[in-house]
Amino acid sequence: MNNIINKKVRFINLGLIDYQNGWDFQEKLFAEIIDLKVKNRNIEPENQFSTHNYLLFCQHPHVYTLGKSGKMENLLLDEESLSAKEAKFYKINRGGDITYHGPGQLVGYPILDLENFFTDIHKYMRFLEEGIIRTLADYGIDAGRIDGLTGVWLDYKEQKNPRKICAMGVKSSRWVTMHGFALNVNTDLNYFSNIVPCGIDDKAVTSLALELGRLIEVEEVAEKLKRHLGELFEMEFEVSPERELAEI
């Protein structure tokens, strides 16, 4: 465990950002935290440095991403079709299969040193899901989990018409996390017809707007979700320095 526990979390809303730019920024912060943890190993405990934590929120232009365990056949488009839909495609280093990101979807990237909170990846995933579940409950939507499947689902009890509203995929190393979740708020769900979402071909996807029958401000949802995650992880939010924002 860390000798200095730091529950402060630098919250950054990146707005609409190209997927590659967002990924590069994640990788930079992720690497900095791990480098500092390695450095601390060779320093006397009383002189060690506290590690930083970040919570990034954003939206992306149309893009499909395939995780390490994913299958290319779950992308139903060729390069020409991707271009026609103004969408990009990336193979990335998170867990999970294929998913879609686009405008109207709230994407969250917690880059946390879990040694500042708890060293349990299962608990970490459940806390992320719980934050989404509580946020949806604020809108009168009963959401939950389905055994054996990641993410957050509607009709998760009787499962007569189960549909995913939030996908999840994370990476961790030395207890530092990256990647995260994608909550469909006002998402154009037609883009999901071009993939087998998360490799699951017998269940639907949905959005907050579709379930409520009206558009919802993504920033409104973001504020609620930030609050719930803060409570669950006992985060102490702080503004990120201008230096970090300038390097995006």
Q: Nearest Cα to 101, choosing from 116, 90, 110?
A: 90
Half-sphere exposure of 165 (CA within 13 A, CB side): 26
Token pair for residue 203?
């269940």
Closest residue by Cα to residue 9 from 117, 105, 107? 117
Catalytic residue among 198, 221, 225, 229: 198
Q: Please count the other Cβ atoms lying within 10 Å of the Cβ belonging to residue 110.
A: 24
Find the angle CA(99)-CA(179)-CA(32) to the nearest 5 degrees. 155
The yes-or-no answer on residue 198 being catalytic is yes
96 burial via Cβ count (<10 Å: 0-12, 13-18, 19+): buried
- Answer yes or no: are the C-beta atoms of 69 and 97 closer than 8 Å: yes
CA distance 12 to 183: 17
Residue 231: closest CA among 139, 109, 144, 133: 133
Cα gap 229→108, rounded to integer Å: 11
Instruction: Kindly list the catalytic residues.
Output: 198
